[in-house]
């Protein structure tokens, strides 16, 4: 049982270390740009970052190993306001 715990911990730590560099850099960049409520999730080997900022909500899909941005979508706050006027 101890071997399993150590192995599971090693996998968790190595996965966390892979994600840490590029993802931490992107989160720091978003914080510097005034984004808050930053959420980071991993799914299927990719990282999704969602945040709220001065320009609206942003969603970023990135490769955690290379830091490559695969998708970036900015939803302007004014878009939501326009929908309510209809």
Q: What is the pLDDT of residues 40-68, one digit of tens each?
A: 999 899 999 999 998 899 999 999 889 99
What is the third-level CATH fold of 2-85?
Answer: Nuclear Transport Factor 2; Chain: A, (3.10.450)
| Per-residue confidence (pLDDT) for residue 55, from 0 to 100 | 85
Residue with tokens 């990135």: 62
| Per-residue confidence (pLDDT) for residue 85, from 0 to 100 | 53
List beta partners, residue 61: 48, 71
The pLDDT-based confidence of 79 (bands split at 50, 70, 90) is low
* Contact predicate 51/31, CB 8 Å: no
Backbone CA torsion sign across 15, 19, 55, 72: negative
User: pLDDT digits over 3-35, tens only?
Assistant: 344 444 444 444 444 456 899 999 999 999 999
Give, for 43, the enclosing helix (H) or strand (E): strand 36-43
């Amino acid at each position: 049982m101890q071997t399993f715990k150590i192995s599971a911990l090693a996998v968790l730590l190595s996965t966390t270390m892979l994600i840490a560099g590029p993802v931490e850099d992107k989160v720091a960049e978003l914080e510097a740009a005034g984004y808050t409520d930053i959420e980071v999730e991993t799914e299927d080997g990719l990282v999704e970052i969602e945040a709220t900022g001065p320009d609206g909500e942003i969603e970023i899909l990135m490769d955690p190993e290379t830091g490559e941005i695969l998708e970036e979508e900015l939803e302007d706050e004014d878009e939501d306001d326009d929908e309510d006027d209809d």
